[in-house]
Amino acid sequence: MLTLSHVTKQYTVGNSTVEAIRDIGFTVADGEFICIVGPSGAGKTTLLRCMCGLLRCTSGSIRLNGTEVCGPPRQLACVFQEYSRSLMPWLTVEHNVGLPLKNKVPSRAERGRRVRSALAQVGLDGFGKRYPWQLSGGMQQRVAIARALAYEPEILLLDEPFASVDAQTRADLEDLVLRVHVTSGITMVLVTHDIDEAVYLADRVVALSARPSTVLETIDVPLPRPRDQIATKADPRFAELRTQVLGLIRRPDTAPGADADLHPVGGAK
């Protein structure tokens, strides 16, 4: 469904060129759940923004169903880390969820059906008339996920969506996303700095190096589904996979230069 080929992204900062990601390539199959991990500052969010068309890559290509991504595709939805910034505080929950449907679904009745269905999927039945500021952080992130689901995308990109909530809420939201993945069949790509989370959720984990980021390795996760916070994480294979991924991104010889963002491309340190 999604193909990245030799994707590089550079920024101009003053008189210097900063390279965030370098020659990245991998594919995402229809219905697959991919997690992208890497060290802090590795350019994971930059990569995701290129994938969803919010940034243009400097070179290489990103294709969704064979069509090059040159702007936000209509088949794609995103959930971002800062749920408090992505929700409109003056709109009710149901109006926040229905916001992206106004230009896509002409029928008001169909928009209402989609909103109710999405809220039910994330366990927020009965909260449609509330405002975001009346909800907990975890519930606000559920609203953001419901908004993406109401859009009925073919692929859902999630940028560290659980980073701002407590550990118990994080586990609940992980399981929520897994249930949605199974029931809806939506292809998912999730960026996270949490190795345990990546192994728990993914069919495959894409491990990135330090900046400028390259793909170190793509690791299959053959853990059985459905997954469980206790049983899955007690499986010896979970620990093996976690150790494998962590070892990859912490190997000093695989880091192209963690401080490369401070220096011009090709320049001396």
**What type of residue sits at position 94?**
E
Query: Is 50 exceeded by the pLDDT of residue 259?
Result: no
Angle between the 108-121 and 167-184 helix axes, to the nearest 10 degrees? Answer: 130
Overall average pLDDT of the 166-172 stretch: 89
Q: What is the CATH number of the domain that holds 48?
A: 3.40.50.300
Query: Is 80 exceeded by the pLDDT of residue 267?
Result: no
Residue 105 forms part of a structural domain: yes
Highest mean pLDDT among 164-178, 197-211, 255-269: 197-211
Which strands form 59-64's sheet, in the order they lie side by side?
16-28, 2-13, 59-64, 67-68
What residue numbers bound the domain in which 126 lies? 82-150
Query: Among 115, 150, 185, where does a domain finish?
Result: 150
Query: Is 70 exceeded by the pLDDT of residue 93?
Result: yes
Query: Among 100, 129, 150, where does a domain finish?
Result: 150
pLDDT at 266: 44
Q: How confident is residue 260, by pLDDT bands cut at 50, 70 and 90?
A: very low
Mean pLDDT, all residues of the chain: 89
Residue 269 forms part of a structural domain: no
pLDDT at 265: 44
Residue 212 forms part of a structural domain: yes
Residue predicted with more confidence, 43 or 234: 234
pTM of the model: 0.88
Residue 268 forms part of a structural domain: no
Clarify whether residues 169 and 125 are in a common domain. Answer: no
Clarify whether residues 176 and 132 are in a common domain. Answer: no
Overall average pLDDT of the 207-213 stretch: 91
Clarify whether residues 11 and 69 are in a common domain. Answer: yes
Q: How far apart are CA 55 and CA 70, in angstroms?
A: 8
pLDDT at 11: 87
Q: Dihedral angle at the C-alpha atoms of 85, 87, 90, 91, nearest 10 degrees?
A: 170
